[in-house]
Chains A and B, each alone.
Chain A
């Protein structure tokens, strides 16, 4: 490791970790074969099995509150001690009016708190975590709440419609000594790469088809993961688990293999086949599934990817506090198993894809 590698790693003055975490996945499931049925597509080689769909009364605000309550329950702290409520999403219900103030109010974190919404495609949530590391690690705050949550959009008939799912996770950051997982280091790798975007006032995103792979997803995740492992002096063998952004089933499997991780290292966090791509929630809800099953003292690598494009990588190590705290709220698996299958017509109604005059 060179000094410049070490220097680029994000590491606060005071060690920081997750004192609580919480997942949320809505109950409804739209099978990919149902999308294929409507659009007369080949049912072989579908990108996932099914995706999670929010109900009529759910959005990023309500889902963030659910996940945040789970995180606060696990942490066992008074919500009024939270000094930042940050929500990363590309599905904020309002263009102007923060999601985060509603979430903070519902949690009881107001009024002595920061509140802001974050946007960086699918890595808005991990960006909010890095900011929280800074806030807590500098001593400005004892606790900060970062959330990655989405009700992802896919244009009817577009390839994204198979995978654009709903869900995410909340992480309460605090001092390392109180943490169930300590953040050993973090790193961001960002370039101007137009692989996927949604213009202002547009309802659905556009994407560069195959351009979303090699020069976008793979380049950024591989670079971020490699740099962080170099800076922390770790190799894939040092990690019990790894989780990468999950736009479909193949991409995280392939990037894991390229980086030198074995299938069993990513299995616990690979949720995309059964909940879809939850965008800003994707890597983060994969991480909650890992924390649900990890043992104390294990290392976890987390690498998000946001289009436009960038990756945030985190090196975590679980502590003894994990075991007692994880039972204080529903597990990720509980949400996955809470499942009601819907057909395309119901999906169209729930997601407002039918508009009546």
Chain B
């Protein structure tokens, strides 16, 4: 096992179980209950494996549920009382960061198996409470205090991008249309409905130029993964296996005005570059990319930052079908944040679970044909934290084989 780039590429770590619960208004279930749903689904997928540690990704429970201390809470509630358990917070990148830390623990040999659950309970609160909590991802002293919300940040970035690169008013429509079209096949998506270009064009502006269809719905959700070292891959786990080929986190300034080039999405670019280096791959090798399309402009900037398009050209990828399931670089294959729905700190876990399903040929009607390498990237705030994971289909792991 080599350690590429000296930053802990987790060689030999596998996604041994995936549990994705429906994103939506889960009014009848509490935070711990939706987390349990995801955990039980992931454990069942992993042949009932009992993990040695729990890593929770969550952003909003302290603000919206009055609940901190999710590690012990969810370990206990899911029948795992006693195991090591900790929650990780990095705004919308919380889930990716939790996976990253599970990978570090597995790579170090501290544990052989880990459970990651990303969970958010949002829709029990109404009015400005949710917006205020979400704005906590921005710089509280210099942005949120002025009333800047995530949507306003996205509007500033989208306006600037459209100005810099002469993008027409509906230039980003394709990202929303693609996400909605893909979500039709996704059982855990909040909006399983295709939308038309006309609907996009008619949509109410949320924060000009961001319209209703540029912005992802924020809703309850929980997703869980069982991760194991190769030698601990459970006998009943899914095959072919999905191996984590790279795991990388990078950061930038929270405030847009503190970033020298906000449209560069520098943390996204850095984390992608680190991931490529760990895996010995480049953008040309990636066959599916679950990116964080919290706003359509974020999809564009993430594609450019990860090298799928040059600066100012990312928006064109949606114009000619390149981001569709049959295109050069399919994105949001289960709907993405735009149509699967965005569950804050759970998003990164959903994405990695979705990439694993694609690699294993378990994506059902959402399947992209012959995928061997996939990438997932989640963002905190306006890209101040970026977590990139690359997953590879691994047919060397077989049922009954000596996996050590």
Instruction: List A residues at the B interface (Cβ < 8 Å).
Output: 42, 208-211, 214-215
Residue-by-residue, is B160-176 near A (CB-CB < 8 Å gives 1, otherwise 0)?
A: 00000000000000000
Closest to B27 in A: A215
Q: Please tell me if B126 contacts chain A, counting CB pairs below 8 Å.
A: yes
How far apart sit A214 and B126, CA to CA, in the bound complex (Å)?
A: 16
Q: Give residues 12-58 of B contacting A (CB, 8 Å).
A: 25, 27-28
A308 to chain B, nearest CB (A): 16
Of the four ranges (under 10, 10 to 19, 20 to 34, 35 or more), the interface on chain B belongs to under 10
B88 to chain A, nearest CB (A): 30
**Complex interface: chain A residues within 8 A of B126 (CB):** 208-209, 211
A210 touches B25 (CB 8 A): yes
How far apart sit A103 and B227, CA to CA, in the bound complex (Å)?
A: 71
B25 touches A42 (CB 8 A): no
Q: Please tell me if B68 contacts chain A, counting CB pairs below 8 Å.
A: no
A137 to chain B, nearest CB (A): 37
How far apart sit A214 and B123, CA to CA, in the bound complex (Å)?
A: 13
A211 touches B27 (CB 8 A): yes
Known A208-B126, A210-B123, A211-B27; further 10 A-B contacts with Cβ < 8 A: A42-B204, A209-B126, A209-B127, A210-B25, A211-B25, A211-B123, A211-B126, A214-B25, A215-B27, A215-B28
B132 to chain A, nearest CB (A): 16
A/B pair count, beta carbons within 8 Å: 13
How far apart sit A211 and B28, CA to CA, in the bound complex (Å)?
A: 11
**Complex interface: chain B residues within 8 A of A214 (CB):** 25
From DSSP, what is the main secondary structure of chain B's interface residues? loop
Closest to A41 in B: B204
Q: State the 3 A-B residue pairs at the shortest beta-carbon distance, nearest first.
A: A209-B126, A208-B126, A215-B27
How far apart sit A211 and B123, CA to CA, in the bound complex (Å)?
A: 9
**Complex interface: chain B residues within 8 A of A42 (CB):** 204
**Complex interface: chain A residues within 8 A of B127 (CB):** 209
A36 to chain B, nearest CB (A): 12
**Complex interface: chain A residues within 8 A of B27 (CB):** 211, 215
How far apart sit A215 and B204, CA to CA, in the bound complex (Å)?
A: 26
**Complex interface: chain B residues within 8 A of A209 (CB):** 126-127
Closest to A208 in B: B126
How far apart sit A209 and B27, CA to CA, in the bound complex (Å)?
A: 13
How far apart sit A287 and B89, CA to CA, in the bound complex (Å)?
A: 55
Q: List 13 A-B contacts (CB under 8 A).
A: A42-B204, A208-B126, A209-B126, A209-B127, A210-B25, A210-B123, A211-B25, A211-B27, A211-B123, A211-B126, A214-B25, A215-B27, A215-B28
Closest to B28 in A: A215
Closest to B126 in A: A209
**Complex interface: chain B residues within 8 A of A215 (CB):** 27-28
Q: Give residues 198-237 of B contacting A (CB, 8 Å).
A: 204
A158 to chain B, nearest CB (A): 10
B372 to chain A, nearest CB (A): 41
B233 to chain A, nearest CB (A): 42
B375 to chain A, nearest CB (A): 34
A8 to chain B, nearest CB (A): 24
Residue-by-residue, is B183-211 near A (CB-CB < 8 Å gives 1, otherwise 0)?
A: 00000000000000000000010000000
A144 to chain B, nearest CB (A): 38
How far apart sit A155 and B127, CA to CA, in the bound complex (Å)?
A: 14
How far apart sit A215 and B26, CA to CA, in the bound complex (Å)?
A: 11
A195 to chain B, nearest CB (A): 10
A9 to chain B, nearest CB (A): 28
How far apart sit A16 and B174, CA to CA, in the bound complex (Å)?
A: 62
B90 to chain A, nearest CB (A): 28
How far apart sit A209 and B123, CA to CA, in the bound complex (Å)?
A: 10
How far apart sit A215 and B123, CA to CA, in the bound complex (Å)?
A: 13
**Complex interface: chain A residues within 8 A of B123 (CB):** 210-211
**Complex interface: chain A residues within 8 A of B204 (CB):** 42
B333 to chain A, nearest CB (A): 28
**Complex interface: chain B residues within 8 A of A211 (CB):** 25, 27, 123, 126
